[in-house]
Structure 1
Amino acid sequence: MKVIEKIVEDRNYTAINLGNLDELMEYSLIHQINKQKIEGKVYLKEPTNATGTEISFNSLAPKTEQPYFHIHHKNEETYIILKGLGYFQVDGKAFEIKEGSVIRVAPDGIRGIRNDSDETMIYLVVQSRENSLEEYTTDDGERVTFDPKWR
């Protein structure tokens, strides 16, 4: 099992390295509910000390599907397809997805995903509490003067 590399950590940040996405299948975890081993999935909340989101890298082997459908109680999910193609299903409606597809699902949406391609599908899932984002993009930002250290 591959271990996440911590690059650096300080009071206001944590940086990690997962490695090449083609090596994602080297990560594995034990599912908290059904206790089955899941390969090709890695959660980022704990390694990055995140407090407002859970982000995960996920993979599906060629011609396979997530073995279950699921909902959430409080959190919406945004799926970002990075590699592969297949189908996504929400509430009984299936539609095609491919590299570059982005799907947001409300907590109550019954969701599942299938990889129809001949390559491993890789996708990100961003999970956050529904209706919690009060300010975003430039509304929540402020430019500051700072000296770049990479020069």
Structure 2
Amino acid sequence: MKSIEKIAENKNYAAINLGNLEEILQYSLIHPVSKREIEGKVFVKDATGATGTEISFNMLPPRTEVPYFHIHNKNEETYIFLKGAGFYQVDDDCFPIKEGSVVRVAPKGNRGMCNTSDEPMIYIAIQSKENSLEEHTTADGTRIPTEPKWR
């Protein structure tokens, strides 16, 4: 099983490296409920010290499906598909997904997906508390006059 590489860390940040996207399959975890090993999944909340989101990188092998549907109690999820193609189902709606697709699902949306392609499906899942985003993009930023050290 592959381990997350810590690049750098200080009081205001943590930087990690998961490796090449094709290496996601080398990660695995034991599901806390089913106690089954899930290959091709790595969560980064703890490694980065995140307090407002949980992000996972995931790989679904060719011609397979996530073996269960699920809901959440408080967190919405946003899925960003980087590679592969298949179908995503929320409640009774089933629609095609592919590289570049982005799907947001409310906590109570009953969700599941399959990979119908001949290549691994690689995607990112981001969980955050529903209705918690108060300011976003430029509304939550302030420019600071700082010279970059890379110059």
2: CA distance between counterparts of 1:27 and 1:132? Answer: 30
CA RMSD of aligned residues (A): 0.4
Inter-partner Cα distance in structure 1 for 2:51 and 2:86? 32
Work out whether 1:49 is the aligned partner of 2:33: no
SS at match of 1:68: coil
How many angstroms does 1:147 deviate by? Answer: 1.2
Percent of paired sites with the same residue = 67
Q: What is the distance in 1 between the residues matched to 2:99 and 2:125?
A: 14
Amino acid at match of 1:13: Y
Equivalent position SS for 1:119? coil
* Distance (Å, rounded) in 1 between the aligned partners of 2:68 and 2:92: 13
Tell me by how many angstroms 1:79 deviates: 0.3
Residues in 1 aligned to 2:42 and 2:18: alpha-carbon distance in whole angstroms = 9
- Give, in whole Å, the separation in 1 of the partners of 2:140 and 2:124: 24
Match of residue 120 from structure 1: 120
- Is 1:23 equivalent to 2:23 in the alignment? yes
Cα distance in structure 1, aligned partners of 2:21 and 2:95 = 25
Task: Quote the Cα distance in structure 2 between the aligned partners of 1:146 and 1:104.
Answer: 35
Give per-residue Cα distances to partners, 1:74-133, cap 9 Å, x unaligned. 000000000000000000210000000000000000000100000000000010000000
For 2:22 and 2:103, how far apart are their aligned partners in 1? 22
The answer to whether structure 1 residue 39 and structure 2 residue 39 are counterparts is yes
Q: Report the Cα distance in structure 1 between the residues aligned to 2:133 and 2:88, rounded to whole angstroms.
A: 25
State how many pairs are aligned: 151
Secondary structure at 1:107's aligned position in 2? Answer: coil
Show CA shifts across 1:3-33 (max 9, x none).
0000000000000000000111000000010
* Counterpart residue type for residue 136 of structure 1: H
Q: Which amino acid aligns with 2:55?
A: I
Query: Which amino acid in structure 2 is aligned with residue 109 of structure 1?
Result: G
Q: Distance in 1 between matches of 2:9 and 2:144?
A: 22
Query: Which residue identity does 2:15 align to in structure 1?
Result: A
- 2:133 aligned with 1:130: no
- CA displacement, residues 19-52 of structure 1 (integer Å, 9 cap, x when unaligned): 0001110000000100000000000100000000
Where do 4+ consecutive residues of structure 1 move more than 3 Å?
none
TM-score (norm. length: structure 2): 0.99
Normalised by the length of structure 1, the TM-score is: 0.99
List runs of 5+ in structure 2 lacking aligned partners: none
